[in-house]
């Protein structure tokens, strides 16, 4: 691995489990940072979805965000260009969607999603109530009726290079170990010419976004690159995998006006 001088201007990572969250603050920090709780506004959520939602149909989802005393939260910060980021994954993590609900005021967001097949899906909403220092997260499991997809076993990749939409993407780690601050680098080349791509475009206010989920979909990390990583071909993310185990990692980047998503399955020892 390359030696990297670490100057962090923008970095955030979120680790969540069912009932607690550990956050790494967005501010400048030293290499020896540890995951410490920061200013996260505690929230509650109410999810509305029709009875017996069907696969392959547009399903409206509405999300109401309240504070712990059941009062609707009125205003939200715009973070990475949006007031809410919503991630939807199937239980086997084969399906991944990153969308942006519309804010209607009075704590209410909504969006429609077409689910590709029947089964269980986890929906994760990330947002920052006004004045919050870091994002709050609410999640919900949904059951969609219809023909289930054949379950894809989550098998760690042996090869960390993939071709997606004409881009050859490789993923490397400074070290792969749970509980350690590590660098995760995506290297993006043109698949046809093998030339490095150096003019990636910002996508939602960052040079890329990475989402990682544990195999049971209980732990979730949303990671932004270190600003020192430029426009490619190497986009460097810094993170901490909270526990050992298998994770699926999705990198999202924008090139020539189009967003592409590249998934990897990683075993973190
Ligand atoms: Cu988003």
Q: Confidence class of residue 217 from pLDDT cuts 50, 70 and 90?
A: very high
Average pLDDT of the segment spanning 212-222:
93
115 and 59 Cβ atoms separated by less than 8 Å: yes
Give the Å distance between the CA of 199 and the centre of ligand 1.
21
The CATH code belonging to domain 13-36+154-268 is: 2.60.40.1930
Q: Which residues surround ligand 1, an ion (CB under 5 A)?
A: 85
Strand partners, 237: 184, 225
**In which residue ranges of the chain is CATH 2.60.40.1930 found?**
13-36+154-268, 43-144
Euclidean distance between CA atoms 6 and 26, whole angstroms: 14
User: Measured in angstroms, how far is the CA atom of residue 269 from the centroid of ligand 1?
Assistant: 29
Are the C-beta atoms of residues 40 and 248 closer than 8 Å to each other? Answer: no
Looking at per-residue confidence, does 26 or 138 come out higher?
Answer: 138
Read off the pLDDT band of 74 (50, 70, 90). Answer: very high
Q: What is the average pLDDT across 248-258?
A: 96
Q: What is the pLDDT of residues 109-127, one digit of tens each?
A: 999 999 999 999 999 999 9
Ligand 1 centre from 34 Cα, in Å? Answer: 25
191-208 tens-digit pLDDT: 999 999 999 999 998 899
Distance 266 CA to ligand 1 centre (A): 23
**Burial category of 48 from C-beta neighbours within 10 Å (exposed 0-12, middle 13-18, buried 19 and up):** exposed
At 38, is the pLDDT very low, low, confident or very high (cuts 50, 70, 90)? low
Determine the distance separating the centroid of ligand 1 and the alpha carbon of 79, expressed in angstroms: 9
> Which CATH class for the 43-144 domain?
mainly beta
Identify the pLDDT of residue 5: 33
With a cut of 60, say whether residue 16 has pLDDT above it. Answer: no
Confidence of residue 4 (pLDDT cuts 50, 70, 90): very low
Q: How far is the CA of 222 from the centre of ligand 1 (A)?
A: 10
For residue 82, report the distance from its CA to the centre of ligand 1, in Å. 7
- Over range 10-33, report the average pLDDT: 32
Output the CA 112–ligand 1 centroid distance in Å: 15
Q: How many angstroms does the Cα of residue 26 sit away from the middle of ligand 1?
A: 17
More confident residue, 84 or 134: 84
Separation of CA 3 and ligand 1 centre (Å): 30
At 123 the pLDDT is: 97
pLDDT, residue 151, reads 86
The mean pLDDT of 56-71, rounded to a whole number, is 97
**Plot region of 215 (φ>0 → left; ψ -120 to 50 → alpha; else → beta):** alpha
**Burial letters 108-142, b for 16+ CB under 10 A, else e:** bbebebebbbbbebbbbbbbbbeebebbbbbbeeb
Tell how far the Cα of 81 is from the centroid of ligand 1, in angstroms: 8
Provide the token pair at 265: 């399955």
Cα 184 from Cα 175, distance rounded (Å): 9
pLDDT of residue 140: 96
Q: What is the DSSP string of 43-81?
A: EEEEEEE-SS-BTTSEEEEEEEEEETTSPBP--B--BTT
Q: Report d(CA 106, CA 216) in Å as an integer.
A: 33
Quote the ligand 1 centre to 31 CA distance (angstroms). 27
Residue listed under structure tokens 């991630």: 87
């Amino acid at each position: 691995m390359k030696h990297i001088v670490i100057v962090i201007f923008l970095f955030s990572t979120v680790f969540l489990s069912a009932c607690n969250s550990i956050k790494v603050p967005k501010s400048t920090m030293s290499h020896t940072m540890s995951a410490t709780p920061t200013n996260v506004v505690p929230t509650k959520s109410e999810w509305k979805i029709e009875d017996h939602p069907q696969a392959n149909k547009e399903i409206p989802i509405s999300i109401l965000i309240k504070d712990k005393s059941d009062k609707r939260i009125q205003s939200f910060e715009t973070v990475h260009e949006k007031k809410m980021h919503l991630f939807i994954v199937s239980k086997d993590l084969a399906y991944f969607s990153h969308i942006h609900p519309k804010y209607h005021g009075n704590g209410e967001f909504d969006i429609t999603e077409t689910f590709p097949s029947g089964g269980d899906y986890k929906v994760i909403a990330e947002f920052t109530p006004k004045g919050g220092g870091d994002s709050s997260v609410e999640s919900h499991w949904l059951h969609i009726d219809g023909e289930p997809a054949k379950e894809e076993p989550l098998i760690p990749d042996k090869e960390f290079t993939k071709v997606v939409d004409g881009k050859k993407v490789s993923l490397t780690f400074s070290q792969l170990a749970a509980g350690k601050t590590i660098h995760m680098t995506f290297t993006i080349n043109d698949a046809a010419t093998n030339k490095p791509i150096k003019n990636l475009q910002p996508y939602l206010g960052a040079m890329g976004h990475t989402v990682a989920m544990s195999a049971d979909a209980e732990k979730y990390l949303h990671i932004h690159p270190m600003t020192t990583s430029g426009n490619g071909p190497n986009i460097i993310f810094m993170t901490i995998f909270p526990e050992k185990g298998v994770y699926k990692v999705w990198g999202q980047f924008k090139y020539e006006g189009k967003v592409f998503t590249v998934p990897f399955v990683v075993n973190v020892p």
